[in-house]
Amino acid sequence: MLSAEQIAQLRQWRHDLDKTSRWCILINADPDSMASAMALMRIIQGKVHSVEIARINNVTRPDNLAMIRYLRIPMRMWNPDKKNQYTHFALLDSQPGHNKAFAGVPFSLLVDHHPMSEDPSQDSAFAEDAVCIVRPELGATSTLMTRFLQGLKITPSSRLATALLTGIRTDTAAFGRSGTDEDFQAYRWLSKQADLTLLRRIQRSEYLMAWLPLFTRAFQSLTECPQNGAMAWLGFVSSGDLLVAIADFFTKVHGLHWIAVSGIVAETVIVILRGDGSRDVGRLAQSCFDDVGEAGGHRNLARAEFPLSVAHQEGNLESFVRHRLFSRKLRPIRRTQETPRPSA
């Protein structure tokens, strides 16, 4: 919960905004970051000359596309060549070191729920007198933005409340993966303002017809792993979002405590890990892949990426990922009448 002092500081920060400033809210677009960006736009609109949301990534997941379409999120692709058009930058639901696209951007505001990776005062990516608000105990940045709205006595519109609900629900997996009492209180408050019909439409938009053959590929490659886990190798795919969707699907399998779904996107090998908390998949990703690329995440969800050239040096790509993840020989899952083959 925000203290009275923090609320006072937030009100003063908003009051002191320069009405001639041009803000760009930079995000790696997903439900939590998009909702948070909408909230910040609402908070500073009218206090600055202009504010825009820019994303560094392509959005391909059907539920995220549905969220953008139904909630009419005003967002454009980030163009570094147009950086001089803005006087201030905000970074939400991420940190400068999380993606190379953030390099060289002088952020004036950082709001995030991931653990702080480094001292912001020593980071050249921050502007002078930058405001950094990081609450790693929360399940979503959308929760923090909701607290900001409450502290400023701003009632969100139906679209904004629906977006923030989606952000909290997604990052906490509907409180099945993470979340605190503060996340739940924010969720309850937003539920009174949100359009629940739109929320259900967004939630139903999880898969595309073109993805179904990839599920068959995932089941056919599924291999048992230690500590009631499993691994699936999909080979070449068009987007890392496909790996995320399939990994999220496996979290609903009873008795499966964690899953690693991996594949190749262009010249990059991506490993998506999901778990129920019995094994810290964030630490697993770091320990297995941090020396060959970028890896990290939370206890329940994580991601690793490394160049295809690194894995090629070791021969078979699937074996390389498997060897990195596990220390003992794995057994293919034996399908029985209780474990039917998937239909295409």
Residue 343 has pLDDT above 50, yes or no: no
- Residue 311 binned pLDDT confidence (cut-offs 50, 70, 90): low
Q: What is the CATH number of the domain that holds 266?
A: 3.10.310.30
**261 and 132, same domain (yes or no):** no
Q: Kindly report the backbone phi and psi dihedral angles of residue 75, in degrees, each rounded to the nearest multiple of 5, phi listed first.
A: -145, 140
DSSP tag of 101: G
In three-state secondary structure terms, 343 is: coil
334, part of any domain: no
pLDDT digits (tens, 9 = 90+) for 178-231: 788 999 999 999 999 999 999 988 988 777 788 889 999 999 999 888 788 899
Task: Identify the pLDDT of residue 147.
Answer: 95
Residue 332 has pLDDT above 50, yes or no: no
**29 and 149, same domain (yes or no):** yes
340, part of any domain: no
**261 and 139, same domain (yes or no):** no
Residue 124 has pLDDT above 70, yes or no: no
42, part of any domain: yes
- Residue 268 binned pLDDT confidence (cut-offs 50, 70, 90): very high
- Of 175, 204, 233, at which residue does a domain stop? 204
154, part of any domain: yes
Task: Identify the pLDDT of residue 299.
Answer: 85
146, part of any domain: yes
Q: What is the CATH number of the domain that holds 168?
A: 3.90.1640.10
75, part of any domain: yes
Amino acid at position 205, single letter: S
**231 and 173, same domain (yes or no):** no
pLDDT digits (tens, 9 = 90+) for 233-252: 999 998 888 899 899 899 88
**21 and 127, same domain (yes or no):** yes
- Residue 313 binned pLDDT confidence (cut-offs 50, 70, 90): low
Task: Identify the pLDDT of residue 335.
Answer: 40
**160 and 279, same domain (yes or no):** no
51, part of any domain: yes
Number of domains in the chain: 2
**90 and 109, same domain (yes or no):** yes
Task: Identify the pLDDT of residue 334.
Answer: 42
| Token pair for 181 | 């009492």
pLDDT digits (tens, 9 = 90+) for 5-54: 878 888 889 999 999 999 999 999 999 999 999 999 999 999 999 999 99
- Of 204, 223, 247, at which residue does a domain stop? 204
- Residue 282 binned pLDDT confidence (cut-offs 50, 70, 90): confident
**139 and 259, same domain (yes or no):** no
**Average model confidence (pLDDT) for the chain?**
86
Highest mean pLDDT among 21-35, 93-107, 280-294: 21-35
**62 and 188, same domain (yes or no):** yes
**38 and 187, same domain (yes or no):** yes
Long-range contacts, 44-47 (Cβ 8 Å, 24+):
44/14, 44/17, 47/14, 47/15, 47/17, 47/19
Q: Note the pTM of the prediction, 2 decimals.
A: 0.69
Task: Identify the pLDDT of residue 8.
Answer: 84
Whether the Cβ atoms of residue 110 and residue 133 lie closer than 8 Å to each other: yes
> Between these two residues, 307 and 261, which has the higher pLDDT value?
261
**149 and 234, same domain (yes or no):** no
Determine the Cα angle at 127 with ends 122 and 132, to 5°. Answer: 70
330, part of any domain: no
**37 and 160, same domain (yes or no):** yes
Task: Identify the pLDDT of residue 187.
Answer: 96
| Domain region containing 268 | 211-325
Residue 342 has pLDDT above 70, yes or no: no
Task: Identify the pLDDT of residue 106.
Answer: 94
- Of 204, 227, 247, at which residue does a domain stop? 204
| CA–CA gap between residue 342 and residue 262 (Å, rounded) | 19
Task: Identify the pLDDT of residue 108.
Answer: 94
Task: Identify the pLDDT of residue 338.
Answer: 38
pLDDT digits (tens, 9 = 90+) for 42-69: 999 999 999 999 999 999 888 899 999 9
| CA–CA gap between residue 54 and residue 321 (Å, rounded) | 34
Task: Identify the pLDDT of residue 252.
Answer: 86
Mean pLDDT of the 137-147 span: 95
Of the CA atoms within 13 Å of residue 171, those in its CB half-sphere come to 33
